[in-house]
Chain A
């Protein structure tokens, strides 16, 4: 395909620069790795420190033995990765009144999932149903449907629906038949037609970032992607289990994405935290292609009382590529 030549040239130029920084990267990388693994609270050795154990007793330990560990808010509940987090049902609300095609969500998603290829997982569509109806920008992620057409047709159980609502892909199981892609009415799935090309430096960084995680491909879609398998938006389980919002939510400068737990009836875009039921009621939330019966987990708020003009986003419209080649 003609586009690949352009990308090859760019890649070549960038590659030259990168080689020069390879040593620097290595050095930074190693120290990054070290700091993440051993975030030490150093006191003068020989000093004793008073610590409280998890059952409330106070003990004294040598200060140099203390290692700072980050905990997630809930006690470390180990759950079956195919079953998902208990007592949660994740939903997203996308406010079309605020979207002006800034595409920061797409960039963040592409970057954090190391998306190669030409097809982003998060697409911002330029929508206009008819010449008489208003145009608007519509970001779409995977809908994580409650009646997922993709899961129903998978022959080998490679894609599955979890208790917490997420629909994920096991790229160790996928046979690449693409039946799920044919089934999805939202065109949200992406296929790895060739060996994913991360580029040397990106691959190093990706593996460094993965090194400290108890890595399991199911919750780390795309890290790495496998040739001949399907990928898609995964609602960032590696982030949400640490009580961090998905990358698109935090990246959006206009507060378009709200994310939360439907059972808790609360969604947040990082700044505003609202009750989901009230938000949907007040702003008449709806779901895409409701009539198909897929029961998506992504709600849309109609583009009324717009804060921005639709035309402001036209300059950034990426009609023919949704993945900027990230080095």
Chain B
């Protein structure tokens, strides 16, 4: 139970070096630019975007879907790996929880950007209709935010207490904050009992919550008539896609943090190997769903389906589509099937490809379908037949991504990215079991 000083020194959050400061300031600048662009949008109306009555949802919505998908990493990594007793997950769980929380918070903010009348936000709560899938979304997102927060917070308590002591001399003000947030954690039997029981409940709770969140997100599309959306496949497809996006994001962020915080001792090649195998698994499942969505409709060749698929295979979206499928899915699978591909650096690039591929995949889900309505597009300007985001949309979208990274940066700066107490406990357990083995072996 005693936590070694070395452990604490290695894992305690440290001040940012120059790179860290530049990183943070850049993110803040991008965020501010986005806020200014958004204010401009509120004043002038959404005419500043390139959306029109046909491409009525653009990258604001696909960005929102991306954030919702990435937030699934908490449910997948922490709960699923926990329930299957994958003990290697310990060094990466906190990063996963942080990414989850940052993503789902930004999802909640991003969707408000797409509203035509953000001044009427409260109507969603006062006049909400339970029949509408949007209301289901409005219910599940705050619920998931709270659950993600609790998922992060409960295991954090012992670490906060450790940090309070660690900083008591060097940074008393910070130490006081850690103390307050640690809720008077002393490691007593009673506290531990409550904590362990609570973590157990959250870990179980987050699975249905996560599944409901991804499914409701899918139902925003599959409860409508449009080609490409009206698919019974969509719920499972989104859950699988969220796993891919989430684990990909996890791999990327883990690599970066490992390097900046010098955690090579704790997050070893073994962990990357395991993460790589996990990512391959999610990608293969996702590939299966993609084949069902994008290949099988060719069999019946219904007119609208074929037209939609042709837009993706060989039409105006072809380059993007093939980048997403090959770059975002097939190449990662191939690379990760080899042991050499599961080394940290290749995995970082693969993770990056997966995340970028995921982001653009959601764009391909949202807009091409809208530009193929049942009745022909006539009587409207020629520019309405296409959609490419405007300057405002890009700035605002980058700002939301920057804000997500800011939240992650902030949490990584002040929280131990690897659970200290838990690592200590596990090291102790390993020692005990090792000594047990050595004792049973008769000299």
Contact = CB atoms under 8 A, between A and B. Distances in A.
Contact of B134 (A118, A155, A292): A155
A194 B47 contact: yes
B360 to A, nearest CB: 20
Contact of A153 (B52, B115, B133, B370): B133
A193 B375 contact: no
Given A1-B383, A178-B57, A318-B379, A153 B132 contact: yes
Contacts of A190: 53
Given A153-B131, A153-B133, 7 more contacts: A154-B129, A156-B129, A175-B116, A177-B114, A178-B56, A187-B375, A320-B379
Contacts of A174: 116-117, 120
A35 interface: no
A26 interface: no
A182 interface: yes
Given A155-B128, A155-B135, A173-B123, A185 B381 contact: no
The 8 closest A-B pairs by CB, nearest first: A176-B116, A228-B116, A322-B379, A194-B47, A155-B134, A155-B132, A193-B47, A194-B45
Interface string A165-179: 000000001111111
A186 B375 contact: yes
A310 interface: no
A228 B56 CA distance: 12
A304 interface: no
B437 interface: no
Interface stretch (B218-226, B253-261, B278-286, B346-354): B218-226
Interface of A: 1-3, 118-120, 123-127, 140, 149, 152-157, 173-179, 181-183, 185-187, 189-195, 227-229, 289, 292, 318-322
B299 to A, nearest CB: 20
20 contacts: A1-B383, A119-B53, A123-B378, A153-B223, A155-B132, A176-B117, A177-B114, A177-B116, A178-B114, A181-B53, A181-B56, A183-B223, A185-B226, A185-B374, A187-B375, A191-B56, A193-B46, A227-B116, A321-B379, A322-B379
A16 B127 CA distance: 46
Nearest to A171: B117
B381 A3 contact: yes
B225 A140 contact: no
B365 interface: no
Between A149, A155, A193, A194, the greatest number of chain B beta carbons within 10 A of the residue's beta carbon is seen for A155
Contact of B57 (A149, A182, A318): A182
A49 to B, nearest CB: 51
A173 B127 contact: yes
A152 B117 CA distance: 20
B121 A175 contact: yes
Nearest to B133: A153
Contacts of A2: 383
B165 to A, nearest CB: 49
B47 A228 contact: no
B377 to A, nearest CB: 8
Nearest to A191: B53
Contacts of A194: 44-47
Contacts of A173: 120, 123, 127
B48 to A, nearest CB: 9
A311 B275 CA distance: 65
Interface string B365-395: 0000010011111111111100000000000
Contacts of A140: 375
Contact of A187 (B54, B57, B128, B382): B54
B225 A292 contact: yes
Between A176, A179, A182, A318, the greatest number of chain B beta carbons within 10 A of the residue's beta carbon is seen for A182
Nearest to B132: A155
B375 A192 contact: no
Interface string B201-228: 0000000000000000000100111100
A323 to B, nearest CB: 9
Given A181-B53, A193-B51, A321-B381, A186 B374 contact: yes
A257 B114 CA distance: 37
Between B44, B120, B121, the greatest number of chain A beta carbons within 10 A of the residue's beta carbon is seen for B120
B382 A320 contact: yes
